């Protein structure tokens, strides 16, 4: 796993750190761990801090490192996952008719890799409101329409909480 350069310098993982803050953190660690110190320093920590400083010393480097740290929190993007249907296609080959079924099979993985908690919250809201509607106006024509509307709302707004399909 890639080391977290912010941790190595004892800094919070933030993209808006200033050059001075990073330099000060580096100097502090370097002064305490340099191998030339009478007590021999701490070579491993000094090396890690040096590498981290090299990475974080520019604003661009910090934004990249921050983004990498954030991505790492979501889990590795290269983990083995279901077979990608489009990957086996050869030039000129039409989209197979079972593509919708494959897309459906990928749905659990897309939910898991997206924002499942938000999606769950949306689902709960839609379900509770649907139950409320069915309880308040049972047997009316508006009840199924309202439930349909809530379902539509869930589908339309929940799409962005799913991870994109493969190679998108």
Partner 1 sequence: MSAWSWLKFTLFLWLFRKTVKLSGWLLLAAVVIAAWPVTLVAAVGCLAAWLRGWPPVRLYRTAAWALPVTLAWLAALEVRASGWTAARGPGRAWVASWDHLAAADLARAFPLLAPAAVPAGLALAGTLWAWRIYAITAGLGGITASAPIIFDARQWKRQVRTAGGLTAAPGAVPLLARGRQIPVGGTIRAIGHRWHPVLTLPAGACARHMVVVGSTGSGKTNLMIRLWAGWFTATLQAARAGRGDRPLLVVLDCKGGRDARVKADRTRRLLYGAGARSVAIWPDEARLCLWDLPPDDLAVLLYQMIDTGTGAAAYYADVLQAVITLAVTAPGGPPLSTTAFLDRLTAKWLTGAWTDGRHPAQAERVRAAARHLPDIQLRYATLLGRLGPALDGPGTLAEADAWYCILEGTKERSVAEAQAMALTELAAHTATDLSGEPRAILLAADDYSAVSGRVPLSNLYERGRSLGIGVQVSAQSWQGLGATDDERYRIAATADGGVFVMRTPYPEPLARLAGMRRVLETAHKLIGNTWGDEGMTREQRAWNADPDLIRRLDVGQACYIHRGAATFVQVARPKPSPLTLMPPTAEPGPRGPGPRPEPEPPPPSWPSPPNLDDVFGPGGSR
Nearest to 76, CA basis, from 1, 158, 7: 1
Is 133 among the residues that bind partner 1 (CB under 8 A)? yes
Q: Kindly state the smallest distance separating residue 160's Cβ from partner 1, in Å.
A: 4
- Is 119 within 8 Å of 158 (Cβ atoms)? yes
Is 23 among the residues that bind partner 1 (CB under 8 A)? no
As given in the structure block, the two tokens for residue 36 are 């030339």
Q: Which one among 2, 14, 27, 160 touches partner 1, defined by CB under 8 A?
A: 160
As given in the structure block, the two tokens for residue 17 are 């750190």
With vertex at residue 79, the alpha carbon angle to CA 54 and CA 53, rounded to the nearest 5 degrees, is 5
Rounded to whole angstroms, the maximal C-alpha distance in the chain is 86
- Tally of CB atoms within 10 A around 19: 12
Q: Kindly state the smallest distance separating residue 69's Cβ from partner 1, in Å.
A: 12
Q: Which one among 24, 31, 51, 54 touches partner 1, defined by CB under 8 A?
A: 54
Is 148 among the residues that bind partner 1 (CB under 8 A)? yes
- Chain positions 56 to 75 lying near partner 1, rule: CB under 8 A, are 58-61, 63-64, 67, 71, 74-75
Sign of the alpha-carbon dihedral angle for 11, 68, 63, 51: positive
Q: Kindly state the smallest distance separating residue 24's Cβ from partner 1, in Å.
A: 20
- Chain positions 89 to 108 lying near partner 1, rule: CB under 8 A, are 89-95, 106
Q: How far apart are the first and last CA of the chain?
A: 25
Q: Kindly state the smallest distance separating residue 11's Cβ from partner 1, in Å.
A: 18
d(Cα 62, Cα 12) in Å, to the nearest integer? 11
Nearer to partner 1, 13 or 109 (CB): 109
The footprint of partner 1 (CB under 8 A) covers 15, 54, 58-61, 63-64, 67, 71, 74-75, 77-84, 86-87, 89-95, 106, 109-110, 113-115, 132-133, 136-137, 140-146, 148-149, 152, 156, 159-168
């Amino acid at each position: 796993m890639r080391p977290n350069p912010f941790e190595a310098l004892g800094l919070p993982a933030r993209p808006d750190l200033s050059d001075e803050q990073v330099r000060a953190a580096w100097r502090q660690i370097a002064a305490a761990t340099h191998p030339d110190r009478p007590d021999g320093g701490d070579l491993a920590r000094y090396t890690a801090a040096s590498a981290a400083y090299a990475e974080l010393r520019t604003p661009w480097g910090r934004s990249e490192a921050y983004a990498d740290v954030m991505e790492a929190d979501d889990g590795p993007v290269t983990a083995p996952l279901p077979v990608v249907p489009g990957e086996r296609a050869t030039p000129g080959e039409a989209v197979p008719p079972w593509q919708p079924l494959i897309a459906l099979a990928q749905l659990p993985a897309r939910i898991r890799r997206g924002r499942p908690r938000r999606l769950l919250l949306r689902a709960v809201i839609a379900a509770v409101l649907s139950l409320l509607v069915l309880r308040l106006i049972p047997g009316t024509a508006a009840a199924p329409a309202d439930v349909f509307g809530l379902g539509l709302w869930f589908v339309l707004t929940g799409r962005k909480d799913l991870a994109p399909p493969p190679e998108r």
